[in-house]
Structure 1
Amino acid sequence: MPVAPVVAAGAVVLRRKDGVLEVLLVHRPKYDDWSFPKGKLDRSEHATVAAVREVAEETGLAVRLGRPLDDQLYVVQGGRSKVVHYWVARPLEGDDVSAYVPNREIDQVAWVPVEDAAGRLSYSRDRATLKQAIKRRKRTATLIVLRHGRARARSRWRADDRFRPLLKLGEHQADRLVPLLAAYDVTRLVSSSSTRCVTTLVPYADATGRTVKADDGLSEEDATTLGVADRVQVLIDSGRRTVVCSHRPVLPAIFEVLGLDDPKLEPGEMVVVHHRNGRVVATERHAVR
């Protein structure tokens, strides 16, 4: 029976200091190697969440994720395969690592000019990932398009459909969304005014002290193609890190504005759209279970 690969996640964290582009590297004394902060996923942990957590644990910095990078695939000791998911990332608040306390896992953390980093990195796969990250270094804005969590069946709901609630599974999905949205540092929450959409975003709003803006124009009952297009264009033009939660029948109009094919999201699924100057440069599809 095939053995499942080891799954890990990490980030290529960049900053510009005095006009010089630098990358954050860590040294592992066990292997005497220099690499990017990364680590294995905890049980049931999403890769995006793991990437942010590992950076925090190995460097002391809080980061937000930007564009995704190609996965690394290689074989580790014992012949088992390993996949590492990577993103470009940037520090959220501060980027000073001088207070980091060395330990047996990571004994050095350093900002290194990217021109010197290739010579510092121990593995060719990391040098290839760095090269890709440099090409994708320009800042992007993030728009997350989310389908609400699993809701009570329409056939079993006798009241106004606008008030149809989430199932327990949907509430669980809403809770699981909190660290995933936080990985992208979402700052604006926009939702259909229907209960099942608003309550999908409430846990993240509560965790971050933000509010959910409920909009009738994103509901099944009141959405129009032109109205949705206008709303989404405003969100794109603002450049803010935004999540917009809506319904299966409304989502195709949202994706059309973005110039994307409708991916036919399941409840609790989302597409992370990275855009720059009004142009989509990368997308990711994620789900919470």
Structure 2
Amino acid sequence: MDPRDVRAAGAVVTRKGGEVLLVHRPKYDDWSFPKGKLDPGEHHVSAAVREVAEETGLDVRLGPALTSQRYRMLGGRYKHVDYWTARVVGSDDVSRYRPNDEIDAVEWVPWDAAATRLTYPHDRETLAEARPLRRRTRALVVLRHGKARPRKAWTGDDRLRPLEDAGAAQAERLVPLLAAFDVTAVHSSSSTRCVQTVTPYVEVTGWPLERHDRLSEEDATVDGVVDLCHRLLDAKEGAVLCTHRPVLPTVLDALGVPDVSLAPGAGLVVHHRRGGVVATEVLHP
């Protein structure tokens, strides 16, 4: 992506019955998906959730990512828009939406009609890509703990080695990102640096934290990791699993996804349905 591009994010929001959410912008007299520009310093994941809420009044959680759009704007600059599929949390009623100068209509539109209603070809392409991904999935975020104090600077039990300041900042930035993927179950290695990585999310949301020795560097076993991963894949809730770099290959192998290199504080979002993996994406805080 060109760093000079205007960054934006949005979602293809769907619901049971085969409908997709579209918005009308009176300034351009066009129909499109809810989306908008990132605020300074904002992550594109949290921007997608915020923009849908601001433009439609609906609270959503994200599903699999879609191919980003890039197109020329009036004036010559390019816009880069990241999209996800999404589902509404709570009521999906838009009948009480108040029109304004930016968005004057919000409608649930049947899929086939939406392809005709959408103004731009790139939106129709995104709609077609989203259609086979419209069924609800759950997210399992496999997280590498944040940046920790160096081993050589720590003389105590390595299980107690904490995050450094940069790692603590990463942990704080993860809060809205995990929320965007509807994480309600928090699982962590019992080691301090992993627990500290997910603690800000636990403190903000109130979701309980489960600590596991079997996710630690010292005590991880293949059987223990496989058992937990299979249980989380079968669960009907979003989850985060925080562990260590040496344990990550075992976790990813247990989930049946390719091994990826994750930087400290980064994660792999595994979207799954009925025990099977639908899609994955790397999450950088």
Report the equivalent of 1:14: 14
Relative distance call for 1:193 and 1:38 in structure 2 (3 A) is same
Q: Give CA-to-partner distance per residue, 1:214-234, whole Å, 9 cap, x none.
A: 111101111012211111111
Instruction: Show the counterpart of 2:249.
Output: 252
8 Å Cα contact 2:144-2:267 kept in structure 1? yes
2:83 equivalent among 82, 86, 97: 86
Deviations 1:116-152 (A, max 9, x none): 1122111111111111111211222211100011111
Match of 1:125 among 97, 108, 122: 122
> What is the TM-score of this pair, normalised by structure 2?
0.97
- Is 2:164 the partner of 1:164? no
Q: What percentage of residue pairs aligned between the two structures are identical?
A: 59
**For residue 5 of structure 2, what is the aligned residue in structure 1?**
5
**Runs of at least 5 residues in structure 1 that lack an aligned partner in the other structure:** none
Q: In 1, distance between residues paired with 2:3 and 2:280?
A: 30
C-alpha offsets along residues 249-278 of structure 1, whole Å, 9 cap, x if unaligned? 111100111222321211111000112232
2:5/2:78 contact within 8 Å kept? yes
Q: What's the offset of the Cα at 1:240?
A: 2.1
Cα separation, 2, equivalents of 1:201 and 1:45: 20
User: What residue identity is the alignment partner of 2:223?
Assistant: L
After TM superposition, give the deviation of residue 77 of structure 1 in Å: 1.0
2:229 is aligned with 1:224: no
Match of 1:135 in 2: 132
Matched with 1:154 is 151
After the TM superposition, which residues 105-124 of structure 1 pair with which residues of structure 2 at under 5 Å, given as runs?
105-124=102-121
4+ runs deviating over 6 angstroms? none
CA RMSD of aligned residues (A): 1.2
Q: CA contact under 8 A between 2:7 and 2:38: conserved in structure 1?
A: yes
AA in 1 matched with 2:250? A
Alignment of 1:1-289 (within 5 A): 4-16=4-16, 20-288=17-285
- Rounded to whole Å, the distance in 1 between the matches of 2:182 and 2:272 is 15
TM-score between the two structures when normalised by the length of structure 1? 0.95
CA distance in 2, matches of 1:286, 1:227: 25
Q: Deviations over 1:178-228 (max 9, x none)?
A: 000010110100000011101111111111111111111101111012211
Letter aligned with residue 46 of structure 2: V
- Partner secondary structure for residue 175 of structure 2: helix
Aligned partner of 2:76: which letter? G
Question: By how many angstroms is 1:3 displaced?
Answer: 6.5
- Number of aligned residue pairs: give it: 284
